[in-house]
Structure 1
Amino acid sequence: MSDNRVWSYSAVLMGSPILLKLFTHDETLASRVFALIKRYEDLFTVNRADSQLMDINRAAGRHPVVVSRPVFELIKCAKAASMVHNSAFNLAIGPLVKLWRIGFKGDCVPPAEEIAARLRITRPQDVILDEAAGSVFLAQVGMEIDLGAIAKGFIADRVRDYLHQQGIHNGLINLGGNVQTLGTPQGNWSIGVKKPFAEADALVGSIEVVNKSVVTSGTYERYFEQDGKRWHHILDPRNGYPLDNELDSVTIISSDSLDGDIWTTLIFGLGVEKGCALLKQRDDIEAIFVTKNRDIILSSQRQFRFTPLDDSYRLTDSTV
């Protein structure tokens, strides 16, 4: 499809609609990009039995598993994020994800004793990495790595690198929640920030960026309702329940989508005040917070320009 010399290509991968925008008509290149995404999905998924990740999980408590370099490096990165003090990121959260089943048939609030039992097998320090052997060992039976919170960011960065290698320096890849922009073809790229719990095309604002990743995590993405309360999919590995604070969504603007994935989770776990305080130490990471009270809070605007689009939300353009 052509629109102002922009060609869009789409596919469904990783359980999401994938969109690739190019400023040249090249169906062969688009097919290669989608094949690259599929290759990485096959390595990282926990939703089918034959991935390298599932090989690791099946061997939990028994023996190490030698894996390919991309899998080892992504697990290494995910463990480092998980070991940050009081981190809301945890690569070993798999048993809790499976227990809650949020977004799948049969989701419900599990008994407290079952949550407590699963917490005992979600310790990231029990993911043992052997750099020389290229192997991963889960020290306790029942442990499961889940890279769902980080895999899309890694893949988006690999797609960007591949396009650069092919001489493509203007374009956009949207992996569903992870948007990676390349170049400045006709001014800045404009990326929408979704309005929580509203129609799919309803936005609270738009972001203009150049050569940046935009990653959003929101409580509205997957949830169920029970006993008059919403239970969303962003689980807190510190207590085993969905994160419960003032936030509906966090959007991270960064150079690499992998950083966006990590920081959306870290910042979601910290909340607005602590999140802004931490971001003051990072010139390369910025955040947009959307709260339950309909506030939009910008940590800063060094790498993007934000335009509000919904009058029912209040914009704060400075840190708390």
Structure 2
Amino acid sequence: MKKAKIWLLVALASVFLLVGCKQSQKETTTLREDPYYQEKFLMGTYVRIRVYDEGKEDALKPAFDRIKALADKITINQEGSEVDAVNAQAGVKPVKVSDDVYHLLKTAYDYSEETNEAFNMTIGAITQLWRIGFDDARKPEQSEIDNALQHIDYHKVIFDDQEQTVFLQDKGMIIDLGAIAKGYITDEAVKVLKKEGVTSAIVDLGGNVFVLGHSPRGEDEPWNVGIQDPNQARGTTVGTIKEANKTVVTSGIYERFLEVDGKKYHHLFDSRTGYPFDNDIAGISIVTDKSIDGDALSTSVYAMGTKAGLEFVEGLGDGTEAIFVTKDDKVYLTKGLEDNFEIGADSGYTLGNRDDL
């Protein structure tokens, strides 16, 4: 593959894209070298969409409209949130929700079950206690954590398919979809773009990135996707992969954390202990077809640690892959990425030997 002469570094939250701007001579579709671009601050992060199809600038508005509408329904601690309404009636009565929220909540329930609570939709009692990522973040007293743990049980989320209602049986329960919501919303934005006739685009929701179609370099040319270095500022890569029509979702210990007495506490919580997961992983990137799956998996696989996480992802058997960056500066890949991933020459990382795990 010829290298493009000019590279555009698109810094997209936790994952970013290196997009070659020179088009191949065999390019037959009408794509722009400079995309139509829009950025908005939503859900506490910068949401960015780039559309490369000539004449498709108007597709940006309905895509952003869909993102905002869903964010308003799903985000907790936000006026008008349907999830807030469910939480407010915990232990009191069922709440009827929209099709979007009902589908998302049922998917979150399935992931809570399938991952043996590594992902837990009712983690809200803990996340709202620590508040990591907000100005009022703090380390709670152990007694507070012990009390909050009593209100985490996804089995007590009751669904009524006929009435489309959701009921939390325990009055202290809080649903928090922060580990899956952006993935769902990313997929929905991509659906809107496709409906508008877009064939080449990048959608980024603060670490949930979807690369639609092929890059402007040429027909059938994939995007070069850079994987965020979890120990450095945004825009620093550990390496790159080449993908098309895929999503890359990263979770890690960077950016959102609380430091108390010299110890850092990140935002990925263990629903059994009430504390952040503590293992060998600094960051993990999931590569898959749907961003909702990548979002939920990035959290749940992080909880497993590198060795078990590698085995779990490879056992899925659906084309899902993962990149693990460990705290000792090693990079481990699922087998499907071994011929795809190119480690950065100056990254300071080396490829790890799985036999050493």
8 Å CA contact retained: 1:207, 1:304: no
Distance 2:339 2:251 in 1: 18
Q: Tell me how far 1:82 sits from its aligned partner.
A: 0.8
Residue 149 of structure 2 is matched in structure 1 by 119
Q: Mapping of 1:155-304 within 5 angstroms?
A: 155-185=185-215, 186=217, 187-283=221-317, 284-302=319-337
Confirm or deny that 1:308 pairs with 2:308. Answer: no
Q: Tell me how far 1:203 sits from its aligned partner.
A: 1.5
Higher relative contact order (CA 8 A, sep 6+): 2
- Farther off after superposition, 166-175 or 18-27: 18-27
Residue 17 of structure 1 is matched in structure 2 by 46
Distance 1:84 1:118 in 2: 23
Size of the aligned set, in residue pairs, is 319
Q: Tell me how far 1:6 sits from its aligned partner.
A: 2.5
**Post-superposition CA distance 1:248-296 (Å, at most 9, x none):** 1110000000110111111101111111111222232110001100011
Residue 145 of structure 1 is matched in structure 2 by 175
Q: Mapping of 1:43-82 within 5 angstroms?
A: 43-82=73-112
In structure 2, list runs of 5 or more residues that go unmatched: 1-20, 22-31
TM-score, normalization by structure 2: 0.85
In structure 1, list runs of 5 or more residues that go unmatched: none
1:6 to 21, 35, 38: 35
Which residue type is aligned with residue 73 of structure 2?
L
8 Å CA contact retained: 1:224, 1:232: yes
Larger radius of gyration: 2
Q: Tell me how far 1:27 sits from its aligned partner.
A: 3.7
Distance 1:105 1:160 in 2: 32
2:114 partner SS: coil
2:323 partner SS: strand
- Identical-pair percentage: 36
8 Å CA contact retained: 1:44, 1:147: yes
2:106 partner SS: helix
Aligned-CA RMSD value: 1.8
**Post-superposition CA distance 1:88-127 (Å, at most 9, x none):** 1111111111100111123222111111110110100011
Which residue type is aligned with residue 190 of structure 1?
N
1:160 partner SS: helix
Distance 2:133 2:97 in 1: 29
Distance 1:252 1:17 in 2: 20
Confirm or deny that 1:35 pairs with 2:65. Answer: yes
Which residue type is aligned with residue 17 of structure 1?
Y
